[in-house]
Amino acid sequence: MLELKARLADDGVEMNDSGRLAPLTVSTDEFPETKRLALWRAVYGRNIANVDIEPIDDAPFQASVTFQALPGVGIVSGYRSAADARPDR
């Protein structure tokens, strides 16, 4: 277990005192406004959800998702601006 904790820490993954993975949040608030949609498509759309994201209006794009790994289950919660998400081919 200590070896795994050390490897995760080297990769920037935080664990709490019980050895469980800490929640991970990815948000467009961390990106420059002009690049939010492009970066969200790359980070979340292609690498996590395997979808292409297309906003349905001209409002500035915003999104946030939090991942929490628990024993035997993973929980994801979040929000995003109005958009179509279609399977990435």
Q: Tell me the pLDDT tens digit for each residue of 58-69.
A: 999 999 999 998
pLDDT > 70 in the chain, percent = 76
Is residue 40 very low, low, confident or very high in pLDDT (cuts 50, 70, 90)? Answer: very high
pLDDT tens readout for residues 10-38: 555 555 555 567 898 999 999 999 999 99
Higher pLDDT, residue 15 or 54: 54
Report the pLDDT value the prediction gives residue 34, as an integer from 0 to 100: 92
**In angstroms, how far is CA 64 from the centroid of its own chain?**
7
Kindly tell me if the per-residue pLDDT of 79 is higher than 50. Answer: yes
Q: Which residues pair with 87 in a beta bridge?
A: 51
Q: What mean pLDDT value characterizes the chain?
A: 82
CA distance 21 to 69: 6
Can you give the residue ranges of every domain in the chain?
20-87
Question: Burial level of 57, CB count in 10 A (0-12/13-18/19+)?
Answer: exposed
Task: Please report, for residues 29, 72, 83, the alpha-carbon distance to residue 60 in angstroms, rounded to integers and kept in the order given.
Answer: 11, 37, 11
